[in-house]
Chain A
Amino acid sequence: MSKNPDDRQDKQQPEFSQMLLHMTEMWRANMEQAGEVGKMWSGSMMPFLTTRAADSSLFSAAQGGEISEAIKRMVEGPRLADMWNLDRQVYALMAAWMDVRQRMATYHAVASVPWNRAYERYSATLGENTDEDAQDFDWRKAFSAWSAIANEELIRNQRSEEFLGAQRELLRAALDLRTRQQEMADSVGKLFGVPTRQDFDELTRQVTELRRELRASLRTQEEKAERAGVTPVPASDEGGNEP
């Protein structure tokens, strides 16, 4: 948590302002500690992109990139025809996981910037409060003022190149991880003769294309019949169209 406005300024604030300032600081600290902003996006994104592929503490030392680089070198080494492919996939998965963690850290750092700015702006408004304001203190009004400033700063930050870039890199890393996980799952599935997701996708692609061709053909027949003045038979209601 980064402490922001200097203490001298704090001490000059009236008592009422001190209280609001304290509330603001608490709110900001909570937000930062909980990482709520980052979680809003990554928290909803991660469940379907990632799983607990590895103990995070094991790789936390890899933020500097040494272990990550070593693993990447193993992944990118020459490929052997009949050996080590599963190992290679495991290493690729580990490298992707570490990449996600690094991108996530960058993203959280960028996402926390507007909270500091909001804190500074809100603190500045408190200096203008008088003792009369203290008499009429209303936490809703105070919160509403804080919320409006924070909202403005958060929106401004979201539109910045830094934020969009960090989010883009995190998305790419997360999708790469998801792809590596799927490759692993497919390899294991193949070992046990289980159809893979690729098989499922190929099957649904064929069904979709076949259905498209069939329906286009039926529609042409129906429209021909309509043009000829024959009562149209709902041939394209094939496949259980009737409820």
Chain B
Amino acid sequence: MSDTAFNTFLKDFVDNLGKFRKGADVLAGIRDEDVDVGATPKTLVMRRDKVELFRYEPTAERTVETPVLIVYGLIGRYTMADLQSDRSLVRSLLAKGLDLWLIDWGQPGRAERWLTMDDYVDDYIHEAVRRICRETGHDKVTLLGICEGGVFTACYAALHPERVRNLVLTITPIDFHADVDDPAAHHGFLNIWTRSLAPEDIDRMVDALGVIPGEFMSSIFSLMTPMRSLTKYNVDLIDIVGDRDRLMNFLRMEKWLADRPDHPGAAGRQWLKELYQENRLAEGRFELSGRIVDLGAIRMPVLNIFALDDHIIPPTCSKALGQKVGSTDYTEIPLPGGHVGLFVSSRSQGALTKSIAEWLQARDG
């Protein structure tokens, strides 16, 4: 081997050792409470079981009168939309003059095993919407759904259209079998994995554990990006460990990833069996509280935003909404980035906020 190559290798090696040592010192000085996620100020307005409704404190003059309710899913937590001050969808939308509200599902456990999607849509979301209307004097709200929360809000909009002014969906699966139309090899593993199971396997899991454990879902997500999962605590860390700001960003993301509540069992059965396996929503066979969820009944303006490199929810699964809704005011915005990157990367953050705020401003009143 030439001296030059060997010397370069050794120099890199020594540099990296130095970085790690410096990084270890920085890490030693950081406590968990220093890694603040979901920190934008908000006020608790209603509590129903473990579910809480918050209203964010305004930071700018109101430009959109209709209140906007953010609904995250039960897989992961809403803090993804408010990860850090300079990469927070919540803060950016507040700065654009929106009246923002949030449902936090809390930490469901075994006691919530019997809660169904019917309860989440027709009880918790419905009560939150009614409460917002009472507090603000509006008769309708705008719903902003994220991922599984997008499915909840789409169902709500279909079943209670009289309560919804606008529907904004982000990274939301509608056709759970449309992953087969996505050419990217790394997209849609969750769809394939779920279909590889028998319906009885989902039943077994819920019967045995009462929930779909958060750790279990995390492990499936890790499989989707295998090398990234194997290198993030070693090779990748070398690049960031010496830079406190980047390290804090990394730790915030880790905190969000670690905060993955269990998915209530009965709702999990519906999510994995009726939607992922049987694709009932797209086929007009999904039923909540004894009523079929007819996506054609969504006639209010709809904004559908998806990430072009979303490996968890393939873009084709989200785009399918366009063919299903009854609305004549349907807008689709594909943005660069991945499932999480859409919300936390500096590249797509601005575009996401701008798209939502401008679209809502044009449809307020």
Contacts and interface: CB of A to CB of B under 8 A. Distances in A.
Contacts of B244: none
B12 A240 contact: no
Given A44-B219, A204-B113, A154 B44 contact: no
A164 interface: yes
B134 interface: yes
A241 B52 CA distance: 9
Nearest to A135: B4
A164 B112 CA distance: 30
Given A201-B113, A201-B210, A232-B134, A48 B223 contact: no
A77 interface: no
Contact of A139 (B12, B45, B52): B12
A159 interface: yes
A59 interface: no
A208 interface: yes
B192 interface: yes
Interface stretch (A81-89, A98-106, A170-178): A170-178
B48 A241 contact: yes
B331 interface: no
A179 B208 contact: yes
Contacts of B4: 135, 137
B9 A164 contact: no
Given A159-B192, A178-B208, A205-B114, A40 B229 contact: yes
Interface stretch (B65-73, B193-201, B280-288): B193-201
Contacts of A18: 1
Interface in A198-243: 200-201, 204-205, 208-209, 211-212, 215, 232, 234, 236-237, 239-243
Contacts of B48: 237, 239, 241
B2 interface: yes
B204 A242 contact: no
A26 B231 CA distance: 15
A41 B223 contact: yes
A113 interface: no
A155 interface: yes
Contact of B227 (A16, A150, A234): A150
Nearest to B206: A175
B134 A234 contact: yes
A211 B134 CA distance: 23
A151 to B, nearest CB: 4
B201 A159 contact: no
A175 B192 contact: no
Contacts of A239: 48-49
B120 interface: no
A148 B235 CA distance: 14
A154 B227 contact: yes
A172 B185 CA distance: 27
A15 interface: yes
A115 B208 CA distance: 34
Contacts of B123: 212, 215
A16 B204 contact: no
B354 interface: no
A21 B226 CA distance: 21
Contacts of A37: 226, 230
A168 B218 contact: no
Contact of B192 (A31, A47, A164, A242): A164
A45 to B, nearest CB: 6
B347 interface: no
A153 B141 CA distance: 47
A37 B8 CA distance: 31
A158 interface: yes
A134 B226 contact: no
A37 to B, nearest CB: 7
Contacts of B114: 204-205, 208-209
Residue of A41, A45, A156, A241 ringed by the most chain B CB atoms within 10 A:
A241
Given A37-B226, A40-B229, A200 B110 contact: yes
A158 B226 contact: yes
Contacts of A47: 215
Given A134-B2, A179-B207, A208-B115, A237 B46 contact: yes
A147 B228 CA distance: 9
Nearest to B239: A140
Nearest to B13: A139
B122 to A, nearest CB: 9
Interface of A: 15-16, 18-19, 31, 36-37, 40-41, 43-45, 47-48, 131, 134-135, 137-139, 143, 147-148, 150-152, 154-156, 158-159, 164-165, 167-168, 171-172, 175-176, 178-179, 182, 197, 200-201, 204-205, 208-209, 211-212, 215, 232, 234, 236-237, 239-243
12 contacts: A15-B1, A36-B230, A48-B216, A151-B227, A154-B226, A155-B186, A159-B185, A171-B201, A204-B113, A212-B123, A241-B48, A243-B45
Given A171-B197, A179-B204, A242-B46, 6 more contacts: A48-B213, A48-B215, A171-B205, A200-B110, A212-B123, A243-B44
Interface of B: 1-2, 4-5, 8-9, 12, 44-49, 52, 110-115, 119, 123, 127, 131, 134, 185-186, 189, 192-193, 196-197, 201, 204-205, 207-210, 213, 215-216, 218-220, 222-223, 225-231, 235
The 6 closest A-B pairs by CB, nearest first: A164-B196, A44-B219, A137-B5, A154-B226, A151-B227, A243-B44
